[in-house]
Amino acid sequence: MPKDLDDWHAAVGGYVTRPRFEEYSKKYADYFVMTREDGILELRMHTDGGPAQFGFATHNAWGQAWQEIGNDPDNEVLILTGTGDQWIATDGRKPADRDLKDIVPVAPPPSFSYEHTYYDATKLLENMVFGIDIPTIAAINGPSPAHTEFGLLCDITLAAEHTTILDPHFPTGVAPGDGLQLTLQEALGTKRAAYYLYTATPIDARTALELGLVNEVLPLDGLLPRAREIAEAIMRQPRTARRFTHAIAQRPWKRRLVQDLGFGLAHEMFGAAADHRFG
């Protein structure tokens, strides 16, 4: 936080304590390796030091972390990336070696579905788009069987050359409604998004660049250096310019989430529940 803002807070009698990096970086250490230098917060997803494994605990942690990160005024630019050569995994195998049915974790009991499916899936996106008010850069470091949407929701998205993006829901018998579908519809348009939702065809990095899903494609070892270079360039501009530019860049995503996130999630969950009960 700028010193003059600290001084003003002290002059008017203080303020409610905001989240502190030293505290939340430890709180979420099982899910992220966090480093911060000169206001640039680097967030690396992981599980036991390897690629992040998708599951309900991770799903829950992500949304909570966005909220605390966004509420820390000492964060000025966010870089989000994964570990190794995968963005997210579901087991020890690479996405290309897995059947799509392996992607879906064991569902919670029906009585817990609100907390661990609807609520967490909602906050995963809402807390990123509405809760983080600083420029965001995603460095997608490889393929993922799911949840590339919050990489695509960042202001700037860089991708490693071997990255693939897909929505796995429909081939597993589930309606695609928990987030990636609306990022594809917003970025690709209605017809192209529908094709990728029905077929779950992986979108490789070069195609993603041509379609406008990502901004740059780089070798894996050049990904984070480029993200840091962009972050440092952003930091050379005034604080208000940085934050208001982020607000402008995120405005279309805010509209899209308000219009479509609850609709998609409700349809995905109802369809899954109906099939389970009546199928």
CA atoms of 131 and 43, how far apart (whole Å): 16
Q: Quick one: how far is CA 86 from the chain centroid? A: 14
Specify the amino acid at residue 226.
R
Residues 6+ apart with CB under 8 A from 249: 135, 155
Token pair for 47: 């599980």
Catalytic residue among 23, 149, 210, 229: 149
First to last CA, the chain: 55
Token pair for 57: 């605990």
Strands (E), the chain: 32-37, 40-45, 52-53, 77-81, 88-89, 136-140, 156-160, 164-165, 203-204, 216-218
Residues 6+ apart with CB under 8 A from 5: 73
Task: Clarify whether 22 is annotated catalytic.
Answer: no
**For the chain, how many residues are written?**
279
CA atoms of 35 and 40, how far apart (whole Å): 8
- HEC profile of 46-84: CECCECEECCHHHHHHHHHHHHHHHCCCCCCEEEEECCC
CA atoms of 68 and 94, how far apart (whole Å): 31
Residue 88's alpha-carbon distances to 58, 135, 165, in angstroms, are: 11, 22, 11
Active site residues: 149
